[in-house]
Amino acid sequence: MANEINHFQEIISHCKEYGYIFQSSELYDGLSAVYDYGQMGAQLKKNLRDEWWKSMTQLHDNIVGIDAAIFMHPTVWKASGHVDNFSDPMIDNKDSNKRYRVDHLIEAHVETLEKSVGEALIAEMDQLLSKDDLAGLKNLITSNNIKCSISKTCNWTDVRQFNLMFSTQIGSVAEEADTIYLRPETAQGIFVNFLNVQKTGRMKMPFGIAQTGKAFRNEIVARQFIFRMREFEQMEMQFFVRPGTQKEWYNYWKETRKKWLESIGIPAEKLRYHDHIKLAHYADAALDIEFEFPFGWKELEGIHSRTDYDLSQHQQYSKKKIQYYDNDLNEEGKPYGNYTPFVVETSVGLDRLFLTVISLSYQEEKWKKEDGTEDSRVVMKIPPKIAPTKLAILPLLKKDGLPEIARELLNECKPHFHCFYEEKDAIGKRYRRMDAIGTPFCVTIDHQTKEDNTVTIRFRDTMEQIRIPITEVKKLILEKIS
C-alpha cells in the first residue's frame, strides 16, 4: 500500500510536469481541492466527455442532451432537499463565538504534532466523519485538548451539520440581494426542464435527458487530488420511466454503464458494483460502480433509482402539474393515462473518470538492452481513442527538405485528428517525450522518405517500428482510433 501511495504521488507529479493538471492559482500558493486542466488534460477531459455524450445521445435514440445554467431559482434547492440535508459537521467555541469546520480545526491542531501522531488523529477523524458520528468528533476534539485559536479555551458547543452548498448573491449589491446557490449536482437542471423537453421534443416514455457540467460542493475531506474536489464536473442522465418498470431499467443501466466504462479501456476486473444498504429516503435501489484507485476501491459512478421523488417535490413547490399522459395501452387495453414518471439516474464524475484513466495508463517500464545495460521509460498508455494527441510527426533532421515533407503530412492529418509536430532534439528523446504524454503513434520522416516515400511509424505501447508508405499514415491512424 505504501508503494501504491508513492506511485500515486508520482502520477500527480507527472500530471503537472506534462501539462495535464495544475493546482488552481498555484502562483498564489494554490486553492485547496481546486484544480486546473492544462493543455493535455483539457483535451483528454474533452475526449472523455465527448465519448460519454455520444454514447448517451447519439447512440440512444430516446435520450436527448441539454445544457442548463449553473444558477437556479433558490427554491429548487429547497424542493430537492439540499438546503435542509446537504451538510457536514462544524463546531463553535463558546468563549470567542468563533465557528470552525471540524476537519479544519483538527487539521490545524495536527500541524503542531509529531507526524505519526498527527496521521493517526487524521485517520481517526476520517473514520468518524464517514460514519457521521458527531458526538465522537466532539469527543475527539475535547480528549485531544484542541483549543480555539482566539480564546485559547476548550469550551465547545456540540458538533452540528454545515451545508456543503456554496452560496452567492444575485443582483446588484445596492439593491435587495437574493442568496442563490452554485449547483451541487447537475440533476436538478434536468428535473426542472422535464416538461419543457418532453413537450418540445415530443418525447415518449421511456426517455432520458443527459447533461454534463460543473458542480460545486464545499467538501470537508478533500485530500485525494482530483478524486474529491470543490469544483468538479458531472455527467448525468435521468431516465424517465413508467411507474413499476424502474427495476428493469435500473438493471439495464447498471449493465450498460459498466460496459461503457469497459469500452473506454477500463479492465472489467478493476470495476465492481457496490450496492447501497442504507438507501436515501427517496431511493428504492442504489449502487456505486467502484474502481480500484491507487488508494483503494472507491465510487466512480452512481446508479440510483430515485422513484418519483424529484418530480413530485418540484410539482409541490412550484404548484405546477408535472405529469405525463401515456396513451400506450396497458394489459386491459386501456391507456396508462396520467402519472408522475419514475427516474433512474446514472451519474459519473468526469474528473474521477479522468483520474481512473490516468492511474491505469501511467506505467514505469524497465528492460535490458542487447548490450546488457538497463533502459527505462515512463509511458502513459492512454487508449488511442481517448488520447489527447493521436500522432506525433517528427522530421529526423531540421534540414534537407525533411520538415517540408513532415508539414505536408501534418496538413493532411490535422483536420481528422489531433497531431503534434516536433523537430527539436534527438529522435530517441522525442519518442520518450511522446511516451510520457501518452501519444500512441509517432511518424518519423528521414532521408529514405525522399527516395521511396516511406516513413517509420512507431507504436507507443510495444515500441515496435515499421516502415509504411507516407500515403497510408492517415488511414492507419483513423483505423486505430475509431
Query: Site residues (CB under 6 A) for ligand ATP?
Result: 185, 217, 219, 228-229, 232, 234, 299-302, 347-349, 351-352
- Residue 79: CB minimum distance to ligand ATP, A: 17
C-alpha cell at 432: 520518450
Distance CA 14, CA 20 (A): 8
- Residue 126: CB minimum distance to ligand ATP, A: 13
Nearer to ligand ATP, 138 or 228 (CB): 228
Chain position whose Cβ is nearest to ligand ATP? 349
Distance CA 65, CA 54 (A): 10
Distance CA 412, CA 393 (A): 12
- Residue 465: CB minimum distance to ligand ATP, A: 39
Distance CA 410, CA 394 (A): 10
Nearer to ligand ATP, 86 or 240 (CB): 86
- Residue 288: CB minimum distance to ligand ATP, A: 7
Distance CA 395, CA 218 (A): 49
Nearer to ligand ATP, 83 or 154 (CB): 83
- Residue 169: CB minimum distance to ligand ATP, A: 24
- What is the Cα 406 distance to its own chain's centre? 36
Nearer to ligand ATP, 50 or 472 (CB): 50
- Residue 65: CB minimum distance to ligand ATP, A: 18
- Residue 164: CB minimum distance to ligand ATP, A: 9
Grid cell 393515462 is found at: 337
Q: Which residues contact 383 (CB under 8 A, 6 or more apart)?
A: 264, 265, 357
Long-range contacts of 272-281 (CB under 8 A, 24+ apart): 272/297, 274/299, 280/304, 281/309
Strands 441-445 and 362-368: unpaired
What counts of helices (H) and strands (E) characterise the chain? 16, 23
Nearer to ligand ATP, 43 or 347 (CB): 347
- Residue 222: CB minimum distance to ligand ATP, A: 7
DSSP for 421-444? E--SS-HHHHHHHHHHHT--EEEE
The backbone torsions φ and ψ at residue 66, rounded to the nearest 5 degrees and listed phi first, read -130, 175
Nearer to ligand ATP, 199 or 272 (CB): 272
- Residue 221: CB minimum distance to ligand ATP, A: 9
Nearer to ligand ATP, 86 or 100 (CB): 86
Q: How many CB atoms lie within 10 A of CB 370?
A: 5
Distance CA 314, CA 82 (A): 13
Q: Does residue 206 have a cis bond before it (omega within 30 degrees)?
A: yes
Nearer to ligand ATP, 185 or 310 (CB): 185
Nearer to ligand ATP, 92 or 219 (CB): 219
